[in-house]
Amino acid sequence: MSVTLPQDLRSDAMENRDRVLAAARELFATDGLAVTMREIARHAGVGPATLYRRFPTKADLVRAAFVDELDACKSIVVDALADTDPWRGFRGIIERVLELNARNQGFTDAFVSAYPGDVDFRAHREAAVRGIVTVARRAIEAGALRADFVLDDFLIVLLAARGLSSTTEAERAGTARRYAALVIDGLRASDRHGSLPAPPRLIPSVIPG
């Protein structure tokens, strides 16, 4: 018992932390940052003392929950880079990022507004952009992604998707998947595509055709 108890305690503590973070992300996404710590504890099924032991202040919890969001984005790009099928990897980025953003856009906006500069986005953004560029270039070279795709197009897709967060929680995931399917179909290489207008240059770097 003396050998296994510490491991059991560590496992319980990690499980409680994960439950608190999952509850926080869900409530922040749907109700914004005004949700109370007591509500989060109740939603996670833990006592307030357990919550405060892991996260002494609400700012600590908000920051940890947002870092979890960044990690989720990072894993999407990492998975796409590891995929041996470039088109499947590119599709995965579109599908998973749109669903993640539709579910959590409210939390992201609230965090950036309430905690400006609290988390450095630069390294995360640069790594994500490099990964997306690499996956997209592979898909273009494989003849699967339309050759005139540029990185600005990805940003346009994300900007247009912001409206998905206005749908009901029950509709959000299905709406994001439907939107992703429409986007992917438009980005698939095809000799039936017409020419696109010049890109708006929202992002300086472009993927060469």
- Total number of residues shown for the chain: 209
Provide DSSP, 80-118.
Answer: HHH-SSHHHHHHHHHHHHHHHHHHHHHHHHHHHHHSTTS
- The secondary element (H helix, E strand) that includes residue 127 is helix 121-141
Does 65-209 carry CATH code 3.40.50.1820?
no
- Average of per-residue pLDDT across 151-166: 86
What residue spans of 55-85 are helical by DSSP H?
Answer: 58-82
Q: Could you tell me which residues come within 8 angstroms of residue 101 by beta carbon, excluding any fewer than 6 positions away?
A: 108, 158, 161, 162, 164, 165, 176
3: its two tokens: 């050998």
Domain boundaries, given as residue ranges, for the chain: 1-56, 65-209
Q: Could you tell me which residues come within 8 angstroms of residue 16 by beta carbon, excluding any fewer than 6 positions away?
A: 44, 46, 50, 54
Structure pTM?
Answer: 0.79
Dist CA 49 CA 10 (whole Å): 17
Dist CA 41 CA 166 (whole Å): 26
Q: Which of 22-31, 46-55, 134-143, 160-169 shows the lowest per-residue confidence on average (mean pLDDT)?
A: 160-169
- Whether residue 37 is predicted with pLDDT greater than 70 in this model: the reply is yes
What residues are paired with 140 via a beta bridge?
A: none
Q: What percent of the chain has pLDDT over 90?
A: 46
- For 1-56, CATH number out of 1.10.10.60, 3.90.1170.50, 1.10.600.10, 2.160.10.10 equals 1.10.10.60
Task: Say if residues 26 and 55 touch (Cβ distance below 8 Å).
Answer: no
179: its two tokens: 């939107």
